[in-house]
Amino acid sequence: MDRAYALVSGDKAKVLTVTLRPKGARGADDLAALKRDFEAELAAQRLRWAVARNNRTVREYVVENALALAKEFSERAAPGAAAPAAEQLTADQRSEIERLIAEVETEISAMNAQAKGPDPKASALSWEAAQKAEKDGSSA
């Protein structure tokens, strides 16, 4: 973004076209370098997405085990060990936290209402919603 303006057009389900307009020098060498750098970054991003897609089950397994371990640790801890932190909050602090949570939930609802078009792969869903959709679809 520091070297060129990018215009992305097309249908994301079919083909996207990227038009780059350099911000600085516009010689043939500069344009060729910009094209090479863009194509290299695009290839790197494709690789990142492929690795992330292939490692999804591994990440889910690690998170699942981490949560199970945290739950086990909290159950073995002294019964009142975690309570004092919440009890130290004043009523004003609690109400401010509740207000902020409500504000964020409202913003999320507004963003979800603005979502455009169908999402056949559920890529716009949260992880939890995607998991629920996947389970519902596989059990049907």
pTM: 0.42
pLDDT in tens, the chain (140 residues): 688 888 899 998 899 899 888 887 778 888 888 899 999 999 999 999 999 989 888 889 999 999 999 888 887 775 555 555 556 888 888 888 989 999 998 888 888 777 655 555 555 667 777 777 777 765 44
Residues 17 and 15: their CA atoms lie apart, in Å, by: 7
CB 19 within 8 A of CB 29: no
Residues 139 and 137: their CA atoms lie apart, in Å, by: 6
What are the backbone angles phi and psi of residue 41, rounded to the nearest 5°? -70, -35
